[in-house]
Amino acid sequence: MDKRRFPRVQLEQPISIAYGRDQVLALADIVDLTVEGLAFNTEVELPGGMGLFVIFPGAEGVGENEVPAEVVRCIDREKENAFDSPFQYKVACRFIAINDSYLMDALYLVHGGSLKSRVNEGQEIQPSFFEFVGGSETLDRVHKNLYSKLMEHDWLKGFFKNVDGEKLVQQVTHFMGQNMGGDLKYNGTSPLKAHRHLFVSEEIFQIRYSLLKKCLEEEGLSEDICDRWLRIDKAFEKSVVKFDESQCFKRFAEDQIVIIPKP
């Protein structure tokens, strides 16, 4: 099994980087990317540990975005006799803070959502992870099971008071389906905005995570599929978990902050 938390995908897309105290701009070409970082070729030597911003102009694959990152390593490509790019240096960096917009684009890509990234020199197109798990029917069954358990949970059921369970299942299925590389279109708000009024502690998130794992096992999915599914779900943990009630904000003027005490 791949030791990386997420697979990589090759993507031909020009980007810009802003580095140094004065945020100097430089051009770069993506070599490959993952949910947690990317590699790119550029004209400037960037030392390990340097902070920078990766600026996606908006194109096929990744929409317009700006993500802070840190250089992991920088290789002089001329010393390795690599002349397939006009840029001299190959840089690997990890993202420091990942916003929901990039996360959703990247998850879609790495799980087979881009036709271009799934075609290898005219070879047969490989199915996306969404197709591999059984498509929307599997996602729908798992999410119906999950939210049935959540709405019956002694503590977590308080979050679902006056919530349309059927609509919620549909939204989550479309959200996860899109992030698994499927053709489902999610039109809702980002996890960060959707949960900003909810005090979801790390303990609450872990309870939900454990229930999701149980639902996947009850669905009879393989260990590998369960692991990949759970990694996608956990990628959004930082978007919803809060460590203090003061981190909650109303979504609109008449909104209510939701804090459910542990029974």
Q: Look at residue 63 and tell me if it is in a domain.
A: yes
Q: Does residue 261 lie in a domain region? A: no
| Backbone angles phi and psi of 130, in degrees to 5 | -55, -45
Instruction: Quote the CA–CA distance of 105 and 169 in Å, as a whole number.
Output: 21
**Cα–Cα dist 205/170, whole Å:** 20
Report the distance separating Cα 196 and Cα 101, nearest Å: 16
pTM of the model: 0.72
Print the domain residue range for 237.
127-247
Secondary structure of residue 85 in the 3-state scheme: coil
CATH number where 218 lies: 1.10.490.10
pLDDT at res. 46:
94
Please count the structural domains in the chain: 2
Among 102, 86, 130, residue whose Cα is nearest residue 38: 102
Give me the CATH number covering residue 45: 2.40.10.220
pLDDT bin (cut points 50, 70, 90) of residue 204 is: very high
Position 1 in a domain: no
Share the mean pLDDT of the chain: 87
| Whether 69 contacts 91, CB under 8 Å | no
Indicate the residue among 75, 110, 145 that finishes a domain: 110
d(CA 123, CA 119): 6
Q: Are residues 17 and 100 in the same domain?
A: yes
